[in-house]
Structure 1
Amino acid sequence: MKAINTLTAAVFAGISTYTLAADFSFDRPGAGVGTGIAPVGKLVWEQGLPSASYFENKVDGKTVKTAVLNGDMLLRTGLAEGLELQLGWQGPFWSKTKIAGKNIENDGLGDVSIGLKKAIDLNDDKLSMAVLAEAIIATGNEEFSNEDDIYSLSSAVDYAYSDLIGTSISMRYEVQDGNWAMNIVPTLSYAIAGNLSGYSELVFRKAESEEKEYALATGLIYALNDRMQLDASVGVDLDGEHKGYTSGLGFSVLF
């Protein structure tokens, strides 16, 4: 996705385990990989409403300011005990770029993805683990596509200290057109009051022949019941010379 900062987009493209649902965990929001698995024969719909990002960089000495909106979607269904299929779409995009006093607007569709997530039984009530194999297929429009397919393998470990606090860390290795990249996301999740909970995470990314990238994100999740939740989140890039901010709203439903 050449028109959008890679790390900024990643904050809203990934998945995590923050939910108060009793029998499984939704994958929205967050940039990490969750350990929850969709129940067999059930459908999980997770939707951005939308996500927004803003960033600034320099091109030939000129400041380029870009704002982007998109509504990403993820569908999950359990294939067997401990195994789920994921189908994702980065959704419709709209962007506005300002450079040298000129505004350029674009819209289009993002890429699609398919993945398999498998739970790893650690025989521990507080410790859970999962691995995710995923392919992001570059089917989107030029301005909003990764241009080349991305193949990745991710792992996640989640530890519940108590009913109030949990921690997790996920690692993602990906290859695109022969170039490798790695994401590491440590996360702290916490109950706030009633059905309201929150999370905070650090996103680290290192791509081959590229500088290291860092971002911070935090958000709130409100569980309407065991089958539906709402979420809101914000994030900021920590790269220094470039400014980058994200925000997002979304919902998740189990059918």
Structure 2
Amino acid sequence: MNLRPALTAALLLAIAAPAFADAPDFDRPGAGFATSVLPAGTLALEQGLPSYQRQRQDGYLDRTYTADSVIRIGLGGPAELQVAGSAWNRLEERGMGSRRHAVGHGDTSVGLKIAPGGSSDAGNFSWAALGNITFANGDKDFGNGAREVSLGATGQWQVDETHQNTLYANVDRLKGRNSWTLAPTFGRKFGENWMAYLEADAIHDAEDGNEVQAGGGVAYTIGDHAQLDAYALHRIGSRGPSVVAGLGVSVYFGGKR
């Protein structure tokens, strides 16, 4: 299963979409995902421009650039289909007196999001769950090498019209081993268009052990159908990537919610 045909189809649908409506909550940026789903028959594309990761390990310094994509399709009711992957990646590796680079595509995932508490009538608290299956169809340097199953949940507390807090929990099962993530996020709106947040990620990686990352990001709404975002996380401790950062754009296509 390759992401490129899916992305092409999504872009064609986007061009053909007759009208824009008020943008829904996008999953980008930050840990977790929105606690709402798209209306039935509508589409959103969330695209990294790209993301960047820097990691030093075993005498090597790796820099990875990833154009990650998520296509979201509203199924009706509390359900949403997601297709995700990265059609373009670049790895730059230096160490032990050698240098190399690689370019290729990553694995593709298909997921189902359920948001029973995602409507505006849910009050101050809402939640959603997302299950994903990631297929091992990526190039060697950018894929898992085996099928991965993931299950995550996000809970959101709307403190007032300006502040909201979320808690994201996720487990990935790959090659018979589990990796866990727990990430609280604290967000604040600034006027009609700006949002900023702080984030902390506690990760237990099945291969690399425990990692902690902290940082934050901003998002800017354009009109009533698009969003730009930027984020950065820095490692706390000695394990995991030293820097993770990225830019992104999200666009919603469809009728009124």
TM over 0.5: same fold?
Answer: yes
TM-score of the superposed pair, with normalisation by structure 2 = 0.84
Describe the superposition over 1:63-101 as per-residue Cα deviations: whole angstroms up to 9, x where unpaired. Answer: 211111110000001111211000001231111111133
Mark the CA change 1:209 to 1:107 in structure 2 (over 3 Å): closer, same or farther: closer
Task: Verify: 1:118 aligned to 2:118, yes or no.
Answer: no
Describe the superposition over 1:111-162 as per-residue Cα deviations: whole angstroms up to 9, x where unpaired. Answer: 1000000012386311101111111111100011011111011111101101
How far apart are 1:246 and its partner, in Å? 1.6
CA distance in 1, matches of 2:27, 2:192: 20
| Structure 2 match to 1:67 | 63
| Structure 1 match to 2:55 | 55
| Structure 2 match to 1:188 | 186
| Structure 2 match to 1:11 | none
How many residues in Structure 1 have an aligned counterpart in Structure 2?
231
CA distance in 1, matches of 2:155, 2:80: 17
| Structure 1 SS opposite 2:141 | helix
Task: Verify: 1:169 aligned to 2:167, yes or no.
Answer: yes
TM-score of the superposed pair, with normalisation by structure 1 = 0.85
CA distance in 2, matches of 1:189, 1:163: 11
| Structure 2 SS opposite 1:91 | strand
CA distance in 2, matches of 1:249, 1:103: 27
CA distance in 2, matches of 1:146, 1:24: 32
Mark the CA change 1:36 to 1:211 in structure 2 (over 3 Å): closer, same or farther: same
| Structure 2 SS opposite 1:143 | helix
How far apart are 1:209 and its partner, in Å? 6.4
| Structure 2 match to 1:155 | 153
How far apart are 1:239 and its partner, in Å? 2.9
Give 5+ residue unaligned stretches, structure 2: 1-20
| Structure 1 SS opposite 2:28 | coil
Q: Is the 8 A contact 1:65 1:98 kept in 2?
A: yes
Please, which of 71, 80, 84 is the counterpart of residue 84 of structure 1? 80
| Structure 2 match to 1:97 | 93
Please, which of 173, 176, 179 is the counterpart of residue 177 of structure 2? 179
| Structure 2 match to 1:217 | 215
Q: Is the 8 A contact 2:211 2:239 kept in 1?
A: no
CA distance in 1, matches of 2:239, 2:251: 39
Q: Is the 8 A contact 1:84 1:118 kept in 2?
A: yes
Q: Is the 8 A contact 1:33 1:154 kept in 2?
A: no
CA distance in 1, matches of 2:240, 2:127: 35
Mark the CA change 1:243 to 1:153 in structure 2 (over 3 Å): closer, same or farther: closer
How far apart are 1:241 and its partner, in Å? 5.7
| Structure 1 match to 2:17 | none
| Structure 1 match to 2:105 | 109
RMSD: 1.8
| Structure 2 match to 1:40 | 40
Q: Which amino acid is the alignment partner of residue 151 of structure 1? A: V
Q: Which amino acid is the alignment partner of residue 201 of structure 2? A: V
Q: Which amino acid is the alignment partner of residue 71 of structure 2? A: L
CA distance in 2, matches of 1:71, 1:124: 34
Mark the CA change 1:207 to 1:242 in structure 2 (over 3 Å): closer, same or farther: closer
| Structure 2 match to 1:130 | 128
Mark the CA change 1:126 to 1:142 in structure 2 (over 3 Å): closer, same or farther: same
Q: Is the 8 A contact 1:46 1:253 kept in 2?
A: yes
